Amino acid sequence: MKLILVAGARPNFIKIAPICDELKQKKGIDYYIFHTGQHYDENMSKTFFDQLGIPEPDKNINAGSNSHAVQTAEIMIGFEKVLNDYKPDIVIVVGDVNSTLACALVAAKQNIPVAHVEAGLRSYNWRMPEEINRVLTDRLSQFLFTTCEDANENLKREGINPEKIYFVGNVMIDTLLKFKRIPMEHDILQDLNLNSKNYALLTMHRPVNVDSIDNLFDIIDALYEVQKQVKVVYPVHPRARKKIIEFGLEKKFEEMDNFTMIDPLCYLDFLHLMDNARFVLTDSGGIQEETTILGIPCITLREETERPITVTEGTNVVVGRDKNKILTEVSKILNGKGKTGRIPPKWDGMTAQRIVDILIQKQNLINKSKELMIL
């Protein structure tokens, strides 16, 4: 069996790492890693490959940052050449970034089966580019690997054949559980002069939050009050930094005495920083899941989430940009009344194994059918 794994952005690397680990242990499988270069910053890309033990990409087209149309088109053109040369049996795409949809579309048009890891998640907010990517990728896929029962139901309501849906768990959690056990070579807390459970961690990069000066200003206004109560650490995503500078808001951040902005972190440092935080403020979907596993209270700075299981079963509370709601949740946490949760089913570190086993089983059935047709 010949597979292509597609990755382009930080969350993708975290998701393909355990799949690569599993494929290495299987005989008779040849796999090719296609890196779109959607995330090109070293701390957002190369460092992740190195730390997570992902083999060097077979191809990196360095698509970089651009408009959605240009970026998607460049990835499609580059991926078509790879498909023509490699001729895989299956293309595996993960998550919901532009790389995911671009490669799924090219593969589907060449009648190559697509396996979508993290299928069925829905925010029902069509203003989010990720929602468009998720829905269209699912329509194009033959294998829909889901993280939770909510995702299964979403797909069934949309008319997806249930035989294509496989509830396997959360592959991102495979990576988290593996690397959480590995001792740190150096202590990021010491580097930043932090004490465990004595600071809050912020991540913020979604267009809805950072591409609008009004929305960004509302969040900064809330953060100003938060940092009066607890130190806040913000690893700044490159696109967020660009917008902060463009809007002339650097001074607003500099005025906060108990607020630290740092460059993006490698995976292990960020995981350690998150695991030791008192709570996390975020607009990232993946971090909502990771905090649920770590038992860290999570305050989501969006109006909705495509991962409702992190709210119903996890530690997540969705507050949007409402200053009062943000401060209310922060107060609860600091007073020992933060949200607690439990670990969702199949978030057990075995998801990649389930995915690969299913693909092998199905490929064996396909091969057997071909043999019977020949006979």
Q: Which residues are catalytic?
A: 205
Rounded Cα gap, residues 97 and 103, in angstroms? 10
In 222-370 the beta strands, taken as DSSP E runs, fall at 231-235, 259-262, 279-282, 298-300, 316-318
Sign of CA dihedral 206, 207, 210, 213: negative
Cα distances from 187 to residues 183, 221, 272, 291, 372, in angstroms, run 10, 31, 8, 20, 59
Cα distances from 261 to residues 201, 231, 359, in angstroms, run 10, 11, 43
* Residue matched to tokens 């993708």: 12
Cα distances from 339 to residues 94, 174, 283, 319, 354, in angstroms, run 29, 24, 17, 13, 31
Spell out the residues 6+ positions from residue 214 whose beta carbon is closer than 8 angstroms to its own: none
